[in-house]
Structures are given as structure tokens and as C-alpha cells.
Amino acid sequence: MTQSDLKDWTKIVRPVIGMLHAPALPGSPRYSGSLETVMSTVLNDAETLADGGVHGLMLENFGDVPFYPRRVPPETVAAMTRLAGRVRDRFDVPLGINVLRNDGLAALAIAAGVGAEFIRVNVLCGARVTDQGLIEGISHDLLRTRRDLHAEQVSIFADVDVKHSAPLASRPIAEEAVETVHRGGADALIVSGPSTGVGSDVDQLREVQVAAAETPVFVGSGVTTESLPDLWPNADGFIVGTSLKRNGDVAAPVDRDRVRELMQVHASLGER
């Protein structure tokens, strides 16, 4: 998916991307000991999201806390590749990969291997203070690797002012957005609240959208049936996880009724 294709896609549907929060994978402290159980959880959530009408899916190693700040070990890449391959085979919607905390190179390799359309990178440019320590941008390696793999069809979704982190020095979010696109090479930007499930600031979202110009801007957290109308005019798409889970609990399975309710609101907004 090129940036041009991505922009056309967002113009048509303002897509909703449903999160696949994978439980702990092999090698992580909370791993259950059964990859098949992990697989079943991911596929069940993917089926519920796809049946409910979401336009895309994003697989993330959400259960692997505490996260590696940079490169993850081979067993994580192997498990994510196996999960992503099964999701890719069963569901005919765009698929994204996010390898936490910031292993965009692994995400790119997985995406290229299974035919996924995009990846998410939390810190593409600059540096952020996180619970994993200082994390620095990887755009210089990532874009060269994408070229070397001939994987230009894999779009890079990059966060600005990423959640669960703080800047080393305060700077306007619009400046960060411009640099992430023009110096970092992002194909789409993501604006989130301060933590998982917390709403995005509409004023910040508006600033990023203006600064990003023709680059798509996605809301990355806090999207609910109630907040969607306010977010709608200032976004090109929505990444939704927590609010689609049973009782709004990020650790629970995806709730079919919640997915349908959100997509009904989405459809009604699209008809205006």
C-alpha cells in the first residue's frame, strides 16, 4: 500500500482498525505455555472484529510486558509471524503489525513476510522517555531496510507524542508531525492520549492534521461510540482497542455488540 493508496482509502471510508492484543508470547514473563491458546485468542478477536465490520486489523504483542525497548528476541518474531500469517490467511482486510516497544525492523520483516499492509512505530523520530528508558528514533534504519527488502508496499504508521512516554524537551506537536513525515518518512501519523484507552486531545489532533497536510492522521486511543462524532472531522481513520472489549476491559475478549455499535455510529457519520 503506497501513501497515495492509503490516502485514497482513508478518504473513502475513514477506516476503523481493530486491535488484536496478543496475550503474552513465548519467552515473556506471563506466557501461559501454550501458543495455541494465544492463537485461539487472537483469531477469535479477529473474527469478532471482522464480522462486526471493521476495515482493518492490527496485531500487537500487547501481553509481553515488560517490553524490550528496542529489538525483541527471535522467539517473539517467530511467534508474531505465525500469528500474523494465520490472521492474514483467514481475514481479507488490511493487516498491520506493531512490535512493542519500538522494534519497527521486526514489524517490517513480519509484515513483508506475511503480506501485511502496514506497521506501527511508536518512536520513528526523536527520542522519548518511557518506562523502558530512553527510546530513540529508528527511521534511518527502517526506511533503508524497507528499500533493501523491496517492501515499499508496507506503509509506516508513526506516532507523534506517543502514549506512555514523555519528551526530553517540550516542543509543539505540529513541529513533531512535520518532521516525522518529511524527515522521518512516515506514511501516516497517529495521535493518542497519554495512555492506553485514554482519549486523544481534539485540539492536538486538529493541529497534527493541519501540519500533516496530505498525510493521513489516525486517532490511536480513546475512540468510543461517544467520542467518535467529535473526533470524526479531524481524523482520517481510527485505531480502536479497549472500548471494543467486554466491559471496556483491555484484557477481556472483543465484544461483538460493542463492535457493531461503534460501526453503526461510524456508518451514520459517513452518511452525513
Q: Considering only CA atoms, which of 202, 208, 207, 247 is closest in space to residue 221?
A: 202
pLDDT at position 134, please? 93
Angle between helices 35-52 and 256-270 in degrees, nearest 10: 30
Fold for 3-270, please state it.
TIM Barrel (3.20.20)
Q: Residue 21: beta bridge partners?
A: 60
Please return the burial class of 100, using the count of CB atoms within 10 Å of its CB with bins 0-12, 13-18 and 19+. Answer: buried
Return d(Cα 170, Cα 189) in angstroms, integer. 19
Return d(Cα 40, Cα 34) in angstroms, integer. 10
E strand intervals along the chain: 16-21, 56-60, 95-98, 118-121, 127-130, 133-136, 155-160, 165-167, 188-191, 217-219, 237-240
Return d(Cα 207, Cα 220) in angstroms, integer. 15
CA dihedral 71, 96, 85, 164 (to 10 degrees): 40
Domain limits of the chain? 3-270
pLDDT at position 9, please? 53
Q: Give the helix ranges, DSSP H, for 53-97.
A: 74-90
Is the dihedral angle over the CA atoms 157, 162, 167, 173 positive or is it negative? positive
Task: Give per-residue pLDDT as tens, 3-20.
Answer: 445 545 545 579 999 999
Task: Give per-residue pLDDT as tens, 78-89.
Answer: 999 999 999 999
Asked whether the whole model's pTM tops 0.75, one would answer yes
